[in-house]
Amino acid sequence: MGNTKISGAEAVIKCLLEEGVDIIYGYPGGAIMPVYDELYKFKDELHHVLVRHEQGATHAAQGYARATGKVGVAIATSGPGATNLVTGIADAQIDSTPMVCITGQVGKHLLGSDAFQETDIIGISTPVTKWNYQITEASEIPEIIAKAFYIAKSGRPGPVLIDITKNAQFDEMEFSYKKCTSIRSYHPKPILNINKVQSAAALINNAKKPFIIWGQGVILSQAEAELKELIEKSGIPAAWTILGLSALPTSHPLNVGMVGMHGNYGPNVLTNECDVLIALGMRFDDRVTGNLATYAKQAKIIHFEIDPAEVDKNVKTDVAVLADLKESLTALLALIENSTHESWHNEFKAKYEIELEAVINEELQPKKEGISMGETIEMINKHSKGDAILVSDVGQHQMFACRYGKFNTTKSNVTSGGLGTMGFALPAAIGAKMGMPNREVVAIIGDGGFQMTIQELGTIFQTKVPVKIVVLNNEFLGMVRQWQQLFFDKRYASTEMINPNFIAIAEGYYIKAKKVIKREDLDSAVAEMLASKDSYFLEVMVEKENNVFPMIPTGASVSDIRLS
């Protein structure tokens, strides 16, 4: 590209275009105004979505990134604009979501003077970003933005924040852009050690009761085909973490369900009976392991992982294969013997029958008058045929969506995992739908989380993005209430919700809305929602004390999972 003098603000836009960015989510303000002025000139090439709160910008960028696999972009002004991004940035960091956030900052000469809307966003965001940097000279813009995109998407992905002072946006510079392909001392992909793969293969081939748990690493490294081939060749039962969900179709016969606090009975109990545990792109989060002192102590642990910091962090491994998962699984496949492990599978089937009888049938075909959350998810499955992207918020409805949602395609389950951010789903669904306009996107939200980012209904109204919103209303902060019921003698401290008229609010934003109170109206309402070409709001009044089971109590072993 020829060198021409342009402003730093124009350079920011040109850098984004060079990186193939098509949508950014943001909110203007004084310190970022020069960039917005340039955005106005480039509005045909770069679509800016005006959210209603900067937190909405980060969650929308996350939803876009999770549904597409591309880098999400959010932009905000200094001070409160920047600090409002922090929750979404922290969420993206713990869930390994590639995102670039650009914030405006006061002029270089004012830094450190407590100027109007000045906060040290670099200091604030350091613990929750993969990398951050403050640009104080226009000439730095192309190199730093190129680095930002490379760091955000390479290796284990994550969020990057770039803070740009106002003088750097106004000043002129010679513009040329070169994409970043490497950074000295940053090695995002460890070099595969084939000896480790051979050691792993030997353990797997000799195992009598091998068990696979896969996480989001499968999706991030685009290793879905390799995962499927591995389990089909080896015959090993495979379970998923919440963020790994949808990498393998839920209907696959070797897919044995979900591990963790509200996971399936069999995969949790049999974790402590397998002889070889193969962890693929997952980090042994405490919600998956329960009490570490009793977790899979009888098993040899094989950990396939890209981030060295995750190996031996929580669970001691016998063989650690450090590499990009697609690469390491490809190498493993050549060494794995064909097997079926039929009697081991029968143990999973037997445990599933116990759970079916004790929990699942009661949830999906309830005897009570009130509608259950599980049957609402099942109704969505019926009409979406497993082809929708489900974007869930955080709480009981999230666990029901993950437990009972049906998925045929990867990148179809978008939720806040590690941070557990209420308010995530509504803006994330906007981003997911804009990223994947040809797919149906359904947000599953509780009445509590919905009110944390309810203002993003305004973004839906203004952009006309056809998101489907389902609020499962139990008039409680349901997950906290469940814990209070089970562990605090039903002292429902500050968990009962006195809610507004959600239908009137949705209609106030000109979004078609319907409320379901009786079971007989649920089928037709879900059908109408999914048939709508426009956005649609569906409120389903569900059982007030509908609990999620199975459940591993905090600090308990995975073997101590409760069915009631």
Active site residue ranges = 54, 116-117, 166, 479
Sign of CA dihedral 264, 268, 269, 271: positive
Residues 6+ positions from 160 with CB-CB distance below 8 Å: 99, 100, 101, 129, 130, 131, 132, 148, 149, 151, 152
Residue 406 CA, distance from chain mean position: 17
CA pair distance 482, 396, nearest whole angstrom: 9
Answer whether 204's CB lies under 8 Å from 274's CB: no
Query: Cα separation of 149 and 142, whole Å?
Result: 11
Alpha-carbon gap, residue 70 to 52, rounded angstroms: 23
- ∠309-311-316 over CA atoms, to 5°? 140
CB 444 within 8 A of CB 421: no
Measured distance CA(67)–CA(436) in Å, rounded: 7
CB 522 within 8 A of CB 512: no
Query: How buried is residue 184: exposed, middle or buried, by Cβ count under 10 Å (0-12/13-18/19+)?
Result: exposed
**Cβ pair 435, 463 in contact under 8 A:** no
